[in-house]
Amino acid sequence: MGNDTTNSVVQYSVKLRHPQLPTAFCAALSQQFGQRFVQTRAICEQHGRDESCYDPMPPQAVLFVHTTEEVADAVRLCRQYQVPVIAFGTGTSLEGHLLAIQGGLCLDLSAMQQILAMHTDDLTVRVQAGVTRKQLNHALRDSGFFFPIDPGADASLGGMAATRASGTNAVRYGTMRDNTLALTAVMADGSIVQCGSRAKKSSTGYDLTRLLVGSEGTLGIITELELKIYPQPESTAVAVCSFADTVSAVRCVMLAMQTGIALARVEFLDKHSARALNTYAKLNLPEQALLLFEFHGSAQGVAEQAQQVQEIALELGGGNFAWATAQEERNRLWAARHQAYFALLHMRPGGRAITTDCCVPISQLADLIATTEQDCERHQMIFSIIGHVGDGNFHLLMMVDPAQPQEMALAESINSAMVERALACGGTCSGEHGI
Amino acid sequence: MGNDTTNSVVQYSVKLRHPQLPTAFCAALSQQFGQRFVQTRAICEQHGRDESCYDPMPPQAVLFVHTTEEVADAVRLCRQYQVPVIAFGTGTSLEGHLLAIQGGLCLDLSAMQQILAMHTDDLTVRVQAGVTRKQLNHALRDSGFFFPIDPGADASLGGMAATRASGTNAVRYGTMRDNTLALTAVMADGSIVQCGSRAKKSSTGYDLTRLLVGSEGTLGIITELELKIYPQPESTAVAVCSFADTVSAVRCVMLAMQTGIALARVEFLDKHSARALNTYAKLNLPEQALLLFEFHGSAQGVAEQAQQVQEIALELGGGNFAWATAQEERNRLWAARHQAYFALLHMRPGGRAITTDCCVPISQLADLIATTEQDCERHQMIFSIIGHVGDGNFHLLMMVDPAQPQEMALAESINSAMVERALACGGTCSGEHGI
C-alpha cells in the first residue's frame, strides 16, 4: 500500500477520533492476505454505509475473506489487538448495522459465494454466507425448488440470517429464523462453532442456531448456513384489490387467514404509495388502500383460494380486482412493490427517507396504521405506508430534508409515538430490519 | 404432616444419599404454602418418575404452585438454601427428565390451568404452563380454531415447550419452537422474565424465547406461554397405505413433499407395529410397512392432495389404500397410532420398552431404519419402529427384561450403533423427546 492510501485512512481515523490501527495488526493481515487487506479511502467509505438514512462511518480497513478459517484468523487478530470488527455482506441493511462507530476492521464476506451442497431430497441447501438470495434462486432454478425469503434487496444470506430478515413471503414461509436449520459461525475468540443439524427437528440442547440468527454479529460471524428450500409452486397467481380505507383492507387479510387460506404473500400499500408508484413506475393503480395478494399451489387450489379471498374482499367493499397469472405481469407487480421506497424518494428529490419497522398483533394493525396516518397528515409530512400485513408488520416511510433539524425532530417524534403505541399493544419496534 | 410421612421421606433421602432438606427451608415453604407443601412418600414417588424405562427417583418434597409469583418465591428459597429444583407438568416425558437424581424440591405446576387470553383475531392464545394440549383444544373447540402440536400424551404445554415437543402434526405445523411466540419464565435467582411478544415477527435482540424452549428447565421454569393457534380445517381425510418395504414407504413421503403436497401428518409403522396393534387394538391392518396420512384443507383441496399421494404410492407399489373421512373412524386410526407403544408392551408382559428418538435428513431415513431393523432381527430383539417420517424422525421401541443385564446391554449397543449412524449422516439422537 502506498502512502496516499495510508494517509487517507489516517485522516478518517483522526476525523472520527479512533486510535490508529496497531501497526503489527496491519502487518499481520497484510502478510497473510496481501492485497485483500485494504485501507484505501474509497473502499472504506463503501463499507461504512448501508441503505439507512444515516451518514456513513467508514471502518479503518477492509479485509476480503474467502473461507471460515480466514474469518477465524482475522477475528483472532482483532481480539489480540483489541480492534473492533464488523461483518459485511452486501451493504443493504436498513438500520445502520455497518456504521463503524468505533472504527476497526470490516470483514467483507461477499466473495464467499459457494453453494456447498444441494440436498434436494431433504429440501435443504448449504451455502457460504456471501451467497445472495437471488444467486441461490438462480442456482436452484432448474431443480424445481426455490428459497422464499425475500426482503426486497438482493441481500447476502449470511446477512439475512444475522438480521433475522423476512419480507413479503414470510406470511407463508416464515422468516430466516424458521428457515435456517444449521450454521457455522466464528466466535469472538476466533473459535469456529457448528450449530444445529440437517435434521428437520431436534430436542438436543439449547437452540444456539436461533440464538445466532438475529444476533446481528454480536455473538459471532455467520460464515455458512444450511437453509430450507421449497418446491416451486405448480401455479401462482397475483391479484390487486383496492379498499376505501386501511381498516377494511386489514380486516380482509384477518378474515382470509382465519378461514385458513394459505396466502403466499399479502402486501398493503397506502394511497400515497400507489400514487408514488403510478408516477415513478408508470403504473395505473387505483390511488386507494391496496392489497397485493399472491397464491401458490395447484392450479385448482390457487383458483379456489383466490375465489375465497375475492368473496371476503367484496363483502368488505373491496373492488377493482385485477389478476395476473402470467410470469411477466406478476414480476412487474412485485417489482413495483419493491420500488415503493424509491418511488417515495422520487417524490422529494434531494430528500432522505426515514424508514420504520413496527410489528404488532394483526388485530391491532389497522388502528396503529390509521393513527400513524393521522399524525403524519396533521404535520404535513410527505410519507407512505407499506406493510407485510399478514404478519402485522408495516413500514412508515417519511421524506425529510436532513438539513432541516426541525423536520428530523418531527419525524423522530412521529416514530417515537408510533413505537410506543406498538409496544403498548404487544408489538415490537422492529419486525425484520433489526436494531 | 405426621411422623410417618416424614420418616418415609427420610428413608428415601438416606437410600439416595441426599442431605436432608434444611429445616428452615421446609418451615418457610410450609408457612407460605400450608398443605400445598408435601413430603409424603406416595406424592414424592409419584413425582419422581415419567414414562421412560428408568427406575423412579423421588424428590424429597413436592410443592403445588398456582402462580408465576409462587414459582419465583419457591425458586428464591431453593437458591437461598441450595436445594435442587425440578418442574413437573403431567409426568409424561420420556427421557427421565423428572428423576430427582440429586433429590430436592419438585414444583408441580399442574394446577396452573388458566387459559389467560384467547386472541382468535391474532391466531394466538395465552395459557398458564399447566394447561394440557387437550384442555386447550377443548376450550378452543367451539371457536373454529385448534392447537396442532400432538406428542401423543396429554402433556402440559409448559412441559411441551421445555422439551421442544412435536409429534405427528409437526410436518405441517412445526414444533413447539415454531409455535411458542412468547413466554414468562422464572430464572434461577427467582427473577421473572418475559420473552418475545404477541407480534408474529421480531428482529429486536436475541431470540430468548427459542433459547428457553427446549432448555428442559436448565435456564428457567416456564410459567406462561403465548402460543399460535390455527383455523380448524374445513375438511380432513385420513388414509392408510401399505408397502413392500421401508424404502418404498419413505420414498413415497419424500416424493410427496418434493411435489409440494402439504401433508398434515404422515406416520410410518413397521410390520411389527401393525401386528402388535392388530392384537392389542383389534385392528385389521396389513402386517407390512404402513403409512398413515392425514390431509387438511378445503374439501376440494383434500381430495386433490389425496389423489396425488395415491398416484405416487401406486408407482412405488403401495396398496391396500383405506380411506377414513368420518371423524369417528379417523379418531380410531389415530388412537391406534398413539397406542403403538402400549401395543408393543403387550407383546411381552412384564417387560419394559426402551424408546429411542433419532432424527435424520429424510434422504438418510430409509437406510437408517433398514440397518436398525437388521440389527434388531439379528439379535432376536422384540421391537417395533414408528416414525414421524415427514420429519425424518423415528422411534425404535425395544422390549427388554430389566432383570436381564445382557438384554439391557444389547439394547444399549443397538441404540448406540444407531445413534452413531444418525450423527454420521447429519442427524441427531433426539428429535423431540429431549435428553
Three-state secondary structure of A355-373? ECECECCHHHHHHHHHHHH
Burial class (CB within 10 angstroms; exposed 0-12, middle 13-18, buried 19+) of A45: middle
Tell me what pLDDT residue B327 has: 86
pLDDT digits (tens, 9 = 90+) for A177-193: 999 999 999 999 999 99
Beta carbons within 8 Å of B420's beta carbon, 6+ residues apart: none
At A193-204, the pLDDT tens digits run 999 999 999 888
Q: Is A122 on the interface with B (CB under 8 A)?
A: yes
Q: List chain B residues with CB under 8 Å of A204.
A: 428-430, 434-435
Size of interface A-B (CB pairs under 8 A): 207
A57-66, A340-349, A421-430, range with the lowest pLDDT: A340-349
pLDDT bracket for residue A378 (50, 70, 90): very high
b/e burial code for range B404-431 (CB count within 10 A of at least 16 → b): eeebbebbeebbeebbebbeebbbbbbb
pLDDT at A6: 36
Asked whether the predicted pLDDT for residue B174 surpasses 90, the reply is yes
Task: Identify the residue with better confidence: A341 or A224.
Answer: A224
Nearest to A231 among B165, B258, B427 (CB): B258
Q: What is d(CA B178, CA B136) in angstroms, rounded to the nearest whole number?
A: 17
pLDDT digits (tens, 9 = 90+) for B16-47: 578 899 999 999 999 999 999 999 999 999 99
| Beta bridge partners of residue B230, listed in sequence order | B146
B51 min Cα distance to partner chain A (Å): 17
Nearest CB neighbour to B433, from listed A203, A210, A258? A203
User: Is the ipTM above a cut-off of 0.95?
Assistant: no
Q: Are B55 and B142 in contact (CB under 8 A)?
A: no
Instruction: Render pLDDT for B315-374 as a digit per residue (tens, 0 to 9).
Output: 999 988 888 888 888 888 888 888 898 899 898 888 888 999 999 999 999 999 999 999
B132 CB-contact burial (10 Å; exposed 0-12 / middle 13-18 / buried 19+): buried
> How large is the C-alpha radius of gyration of chain B?
23
Q: Which positions 59-118 of A are in contact with B (Cβ < 8 Å)?
A: none
E runs forming strands in B139-285: 145-146, 180-186, 192-196, 221-228, 230-231, 235-243, 263-269
The three three-digit cell numbers of residue A215, written as one number: 444476533
Residue B392 phi/psi, 5° resolution?
75, 15
Residues of A in contact with B297 (CB under 8 A): 260, 301
Please state whether B234 falls in left (phi above 0), alpha (psi between -120 and 50) or beta. alpha
The pLDDT score that the predictor gives to residue A335 is 86
Q: How far apart are CA A42 and CA B381, in angstroms?
A: 70
| Neighbouring C-beta atoms of residue A126, cutoff 10 Å | 21
pLDDT digits (tens, 9 = 90+) for A79-119: 999 999 999 999 999 889 999 999 999 999 999 999 999 99
- Give DSSP secondary structure letters for B73-138: HHHHHHHHTT--EEEESSS--SSSTT--TT--EEEE-TT---EEEEEGGGTEEEEETT-BHHHHHH
- Residue to substitute from B160, B171, B176, B202, interface A, most A β-carbons within 10 A: B202
Query: With an 8 Å Cβ cutoff, are B260 and A234 in contact?
Result: yes
Residues of chain B with C-beta less than 8 angstroms from the C-beta of A213:
207
- Give yes or no for residue B380 having a pLDDT over 80: yes
The alpha carbon of A139 is separated from its chain's Cα centroid by a whole number of angstroms, namely 21
From the list B174, B207, B433, the residue facing A211 with the nearest CB is B207
Q: Which three cell numbers stand for residue B220?
A: 428457567
The owner of cell 410519507 is: A383
On the question of pLDDT at B6 being above 60, the answer is: no
Residue that is written with C-alpha cell 432541516 in the block: A404
**Cα nearest neighbour of B432 on chain A:** A203
| Binary contact (B199, A393; C-beta < 8 A) | yes
User: Is residue B99 within 8 Å of residue B57, measured between CB atoms?
Assistant: yes
B residues 225-264 lying closer than 8 A (beta carbon) to A: 230-234, 254, 257-260, 262
Residue scoring higher pLDDT (A253 or A323): A253
- Assess B359–A contact: CB distance below 8 Å, yes or no: yes
Contact A74, A82 (CB under 8 A): no
Average pLDDT over residues B165-173: 92
- The answer to whether B134 contacts chain A (CB < 8 Å) is no
B400-413: pLDDT as tens digits: 998 899 999 999 99
CA distance A47 to chain B (A): 23
Helix axes A299-315, A246-258, angle to 10 degrees: 140
